A and B are shown apart, each in its own frame.
Chain A
Amino acid sequence: MLIQTVQNSRNGRAIALPQPLPCPPGCSGEPLIRLRKVVKRYRTPAGDFPALKGIDLDVYPGEFVGIIGRSGAGKTTLVNVLTGVDHPSEGEVWIGDVPVHSLSENRLALWRGRTLGIIYQSFYLMPSISLLHNVMLPMDVCGLYRRGQSEQRAMELLRMVELEDHAHKLPSAISGGQQQRVAIARALANDPDLLVADEPTGRLDSGTAETIFEVFSRLIEQGKTILMVTHDLSLASRVRRVIRLVDGQIAEDSNGL
Chain B
Amino acid sequence: MRLRPRLQKVLSDLAGNRQRSLLVLASIAVGLFAIGVITTIYVVGPDDMRSGYAATNPPNIAVQALLFDRCAPEHIAQTPGVRQVEAVRYASTRLQTGPNDWAAIDLRTAKDLANLQIGTVTVVNGKWPPGEREIVIDQYKLPDTNAEVGDMIELETPSGKTKAVRLVGVIQDLGIGAFRGAGGFFNAPIQGFVTQETLEWLEQPQPKRYNTLLLTVQGDDQDEVYLESVAQQVREELERCNVQVISVATRSSTEHPNLFLSQAILAVLLVIGLLVAFLSGFLITNTLQAIMNQQVQQIGILKTVGARRYQVMGIYLLLSLLFGALAFVIAAPLAPQVAFPVIDFLTVQMNYIFYGPRLVPEAVIAQAVLAVLLPVSAALLPVWQGANISVQEALSGLSQRNPPNQGWLDRKLSGLRRRSLLLVVSLRNTFRRKGRLLLTLVTLTLGGAVFIATFSVRVSLLDYVNQIVQYFLADVNITLDRAYRIEEIEGLIRQVPGVKQVEGWMFARTEIVLADGSVGESVSLLAPPAASPLVKPILVAGRWLQPGDRNAIALSELFKDAFPDLEVGDTLRLRVEDKETDWVVVGFFQLAGKVSGYSAYTSYEYLSELLNQPGRAVAFRVVSQSPNLNNLEQEALGQAVEAHLSRNGIRVVDMTTGKHLLKTATDGFDVLTSFLLFLAILTALTGSIGLTGAMSLNVMERTREIGILRAIGASDKALMRIVLTEGALIGMMSWVLSSLAAFPISELMSDSISQSMFGGPANFGFSPIGYVLWLVAVSALAVVASVMPARNATRLTIREVLSYE
Contacts and interface: CB of A to CB of B under 8 A. Distances in A.
Contacts of A186: 712
Report which residue of A84, A106, A112, A170 has the largest number of chain B beta carbons within 10 angstroms of its beta carbon: A106
List the 10 closest A-B pairs by CB distance, nearest first: A113-B713, A140-B421, A106-B716, A86-B799, A85-B798, A138-B712, A128-B428, A172-B398, A141-B714, A124-B708
Interface in A153-198: 169-170, 172-173, 186, 189-190
Contact of A86 (B417, B425, B704, B797): B797
23 contacts: A80-B798, A80-B799, A85-B711, A85-B798, A87-B797, A105-B716, A109-B710, A118-B712, A126-B705, A126-B708, A128-B404, A128-B429, A129-B421, A129-B425, A129-B428, A130-B414, A141-B714, A141-B715, A170-B403, A170-B405, A172-B398, A172-B403, A173-B403
A172 B395 CA distance: 12
Given A86-B799, A140-B420, A147-B418, A127 B713 contact: no
Nearest to B719: A109
A131 B425 CA distance: 13
A133 interface: yes
Contact of B795 (A105, A127, A169): A105
A65 interface: no
Residues of A contacting B: mostly: helix
B405 A130 contact: yes
A9 to B, nearest CB: 15
A137 interface: yes
A145 to B, nearest CB: 12
A106 B713 CA distance: 9
Given A85-B799, A141-B718, A172-B398, A105 B404 contact: no
Contact of B797 (A85, A114, A137): A85
Residues of B contacting A: mostly: helix
Nearest to A142: B713
Nearest to A125: B708
Contacts of A140: 420-422
B543 interface: no
Interface of B: 396-398, 400, 403-405, 414, 417-418, 420-422, 424-425, 428-429, 432, 704-705, 707-716, 718, 794-800, 802
Interface in A92-140: 105-106, 109-114, 118, 120, 124-130, 133, 136-138, 140
A170 B713 contact: no
A41 to B, nearest CB: 14
Interface string A58-88: 0000000000000000000000100011110
A105 B704 CA distance: 15
Contact of A109 (B425, B429, B704, B715): B715
Contacts of B713: 109-114, 138, 141-142, 190
A129 B718 CA distance: 17
Contact of B711 (A124, A136, A169): A124
A129 B428 CA distance: 8
Given A128-B432, A129-B425, A173-B403, A137 B709 contact: yes
A129 B715 contact: no
Given A109-B713, A113-B714, A190-B713, A137 B798 contact: no
Contacts of A124: 704, 707-708, 711, 802
Nearest to A86: B799
Contacts of A189: 712
Contacts of A190: 713
A interface bracket (residues with beta carbon within 8 Å of B): 35 or more
A85 B799 CA distance: 6
Nearest to B708: A124
Contacts of A120: 711, 802
B797 A105 contact: yes
Contacts of B795: 105
Contacts of A173: 403
A133 to B, nearest CB: 6
A129 B424 contact: yes
A87 B800 CA distance: 11
A12 B711 CA distance: 25
Report which residue of A105, A112, A120, A173 has the largest number of chain B beta carbons within 10 angstroms of its beta carbon: A105
Contacts of A110: 713, 715
Nearest to A111: B713
B397 A109 contact: no
A72 to B, nearest CB: 16
Report which residue of A111, A169, A172, A186 has the largest number of chain B beta carbons within 10 angstroms of its beta carbon: A172
A142 B709 CA distance: 11
Contacts of B799: 80, 85-86
A87 B796 CA distance: 10
A125 B425 CA distance: 12
Contacts of B400: 172
Given A80-B799, A86-B798, A133 B712 contact: no
A186 B421 CA distance: 14
A169 B420 CA distance: 19
A174 to B, nearest CB: 11
Report which residue of A85, A110, A111 has the largest number of chain B beta carbons within 10 angstroms of its beta carbon: A85
B432 A136 contact: no
Contacts of A106: 715-716, 794
A125 B421 CA distance: 14
Contacts of B429: 128
Report which residue of B428, B794, B798, B799 has the largest number of chain A beta carbons within 10 angstroms of its beta carbon: B798
Contacts of B417: 133
Given A137-B421, A138-B713, A141-B713, A105 B403 contact: no
A133 B424 contact: yes
A65 to B, nearest CB: 20
Contacts of A169: 405
B713 to A, nearest CB: 1
A182 to B, nearest CB: 12
B714 A126 contact: no
Nearest to B421: A140
Contacts of A86: 797-800
A147 B417 CA distance: 10
A125 B398 CA distance: 12
B254 to A, nearest CB: 62
A2 B321 CA distance: 58
A111 B713 CA distance: 7
A112 B421 contact: no
Contacts of A142: 713
Contacts of B398: 127, 172
A85 B796 CA distance: 10
B708 A170 contact: no
A169 B400 CA distance: 13
Given A109-B713, A125-B708, 10 more contacts: A85-B711, A105-B710, A105-B798, A112-B712, A120-B802, A124-B704, A126-B709, A128-B404, A141-B715, A172-B403
Contacts of B797: 85-87, 105
A105 B718 CA distance: 13
B433 to A, nearest CB: 10
Interface string A201-224: 000000000000000000000000
A111 B417 CA distance: 24
Contacts of B794: 105-106
Report which residue of A120, A140, A169, A170 has the largest number of chain B beta carbons within 10 angstroms of its beta carbon: A140
A69 B522 CA distance: 101
Contacts of B424: 129, 133
Given A105-B797, A127-B398, A118 B425 contact: no
A150 to B, nearest CB: 8
Nearest to B404: A128
Contacts of A127: 397-398, 404, 705
B331 to A, nearest CB: 33
A106 B418 CA distance: 26
A109 B418 contact: no
Interface in A36-64: none
A108 to B, nearest CB: 8
Given A80-B799, A85-B797, A124-B802, A109 B403 contact: no
B408 to A, nearest CB: 16
